[in-house]
Amino acid sequence: MAPNTDISTRALIITLKSPVVGLTSADIFATTGISISTINRIYGRAIGREFDLNIRPLVIKDEWLEDASRSGRPRKQTPEATEKVVTKPPASSQGGFGYLSYHNLEDSQKRRVQQDKTNEETWVDEEDEGGTT
């Protein structure tokens, strides 16, 4: 997905495409590198928001170029809440990450010991199989 154009680039597109300068969308694409469909969308949105081509001197207002409001439910997680969660240390050593890490390490060592005992008990020697050495 292409990044959003900033408001100054949108103003440039409106100026270049307006009858005052009179460049085509292809000429503006060659100058700015912004796709022709994006150029036409920005220009059409400005006209839909009351940009008048015939007024002299040319007037371009920020409200004609601003992003539309986003639809959908707003985020529940605010930047302040995110910062608080990321920077807040554990409440106590019993509930912190050290506790979890210690017990996970302890559990893995217990499993390893159990596995070694099981391997020793199930080890089959050639003599046990009836072979001679």
Q: What is the pLDDT of residue 40?
A: 93
Residue 84 lies in a domain: no
Residue 100 pLDDT > 60, yes or no? no
Q: Nearest 5 degrees, angle CA 5-CA 7-CA 12?
A: 90
Q: What is the pLDDT of residue 103?
A: 56
Q: How confident is the model at residue 7 (pLDDT cuts 50, 70, 90)?
A: confident
Give the pLDDT of residue 70.
72
| Domain boundaries, position 32 | 7-65
- Across residues 86-114, what is the average pLDDT? 59
Structural domains in the chain (count) = 2
User: Does residue 47 carry a pLDDT above 80?
Assistant: yes
109 within some domain: yes
- Domain end call among 48, 65, 82: 65
Verify that 55 and 103 share a domain, yes or no. no
**25 falls within a domain:** yes
The predicted pLDDT at position 22 comes to: 87
Task: Please list, residue by residue across 74-108, b when 16 or more beta carbons sit within 10 angstroms of its beta carbon and e when fewer do.
Answer: eeeeeeeeeeeeeeeeeeeeeeeeeeeeeeeeeee
Is residue 72 included in any domain, yes or no? no
Q: Which pLDDT value is given to residue 1?
A: 37
Whether 76 is in a domain gets the answer no
Q: Are residues 54 and 16 in the same domain?
A: yes
Same domain? 58 vs 96: no
